[in-house]
Structure 1
């Protein structure tokens, strides 16, 4: 059986020149990681090459359609890993340096099955954050993605009376637009008899995770964001 020389890692918009034939102006390229003789990945992101789909098909010995479909599937998995990493950082980075008791309450609150099993919350939080940051730092199919608390954005969230999320909207940087958003949010919350939260997160999906978290998680989320932006003096909703 022929052992492939490359693993398809994803499809890339940032590289528009084929690393095989040199053709330029491509809409996208396929990221290929070299494999060793046993079919294991044999390199780092710096060893990845970016080929046009036709050259990638030749290199892999596949039909061009299969290359495109495989690259898109690989990229979708990469995007899912990124989404998970952003959620983990948005939840746990604010408690990274919190007192052990608070860190444990946040971790076990999300993972109750691990309480009293010998699993140490501090170690698990450190592990989750290290893995999440490594995921977002991976440059195989694009530049590193934001991963610091400083990179968090503020999101306003409306919860319905039965605690379902009705709206998640990023808080504008412009002060006048913030005031307009705040008025609109209060008005809408009143109409549905909902409540309003403001949370900080790396993206809107992660903001939903924070909004659904417990009070202590949100308390540390607010503290961490305020500490990271202490010099900015942002207006509050």
Structure 2
């Protein structure tokens, strides 16, 4: 069986022109990474070609349906990696330059099985952040995504009486909006006997993880937000 010349990386909305036939106005294109003679990826984001599904099917020798399904699955995996990267940055970027003891407490608190195993928390934090930033900087299937502490947004987290997250809301940029949100949230938490917290993160799902984290993680999260907006 011949080795394919391309690997599908995902679906792209930003390119509406097929790189094979030149057709324009496409709703989406398929990102194709070239492969070498052994079937290994042979290039970077700059080498990716963007084909319409019909041309991609011809290039791969597949049906259009298989191309579409494979591209959607690949994009879903890419999105999952992005989600994980945002969570890692939202948790660990604020402690990147914290004292070694604090980095260790945060890392081992989340990875208890690695305590006393010789794994160095500071090195692991650096690795996690490096991989996460590289993931969000990858432009194979779209523009680079926000990855800096300066890109964090504040989120208001509402907890139930039992300590479960009930709702997460992005904090408005304007003072009037913040006051209105604060008043409404306080009335609601008083009604259900819950509590409130404000955390900074790259997205709402990451905010959930920060809100559920330990006190030290949240302390450094607040410190990082204040330092970035001083």
Quick one: distance in 1 between partners of 2:135 and 2:55?
28
Give runs of aligned pairs for residues 62-101 of structure 1, distance below 5 A: 62-101=62-101
Give the equivalent residue in structure 2 for 1:234. Answer: none
> 2: CA distance between counterparts of 1:227 and 1:188?
31
In structure 2, the partner of 1:142 is 142
Task: Give 1:188 deviation, angstroms.
Answer: 0.7
Partner in structure 2 of residue 35 of structure 1: 35
Q: Which residue of 1 aligns with 2:196?
A: 196
The corresponding residue for 2:26 is 26
Residue 22 of structure 1: how far off its partner (Å): 0.4
CA distance in 2, matches of 1:87, 1:191: 31
The 5 A counterparts of 1:1-237 are 1-230=1-230
* Cα distance in 1 for residues equivalent to 2:56 and 2:178: 48
User: Once the 2 structures are TM-superposed, how far is the Cα of residue 163 of structure 1 from its aligned partner?
Assistant: 1.1
Query: How many angstroms does 1:175 deviate by?
Result: 1.3
How far does residue 161 in structure 1 lie from its aligned partner after superposition? 1.6
User: Which whole-Å deviations, capped at 9, do the CAs of 1:2-61 have from their partners, x for residues lacking one?
Assistant: 100000000000000000000000000000000000000000000000000000000000
Residues 64-101 of structure 1 show CA distances to partners (whole Å, capped at 9, x for unaligned) of 00000000000000000000000000000000000000
Q: Provide TM-score, normalisation by structure 2.
A: 1.00
C-alpha separation between the residues in 2 aligned to 1:125 and 1:162? Answer: 31
Three-state SS of the structure 1 residue aligned to 2:206 is helix
For residue 150 of structure 1, report the CA deviation from its aligned partner. 0.1
Alpha-carbon separation, structure 2, partners of 1:14 and 1:192: 44
Runs of at least 4 residues of structure 1 off by over 6 A? none
State the 1:212 CA deviation: 0.4
Which stretches in structure 1 are left out of the alignment for 5+ residues?
A: 231-237
- Cα RMSD, aligned residues only: 0.4
Q: TM-score normalised to the size of structure 1?
A: 0.97
Alignment gaps of 5+ in structure 2: none
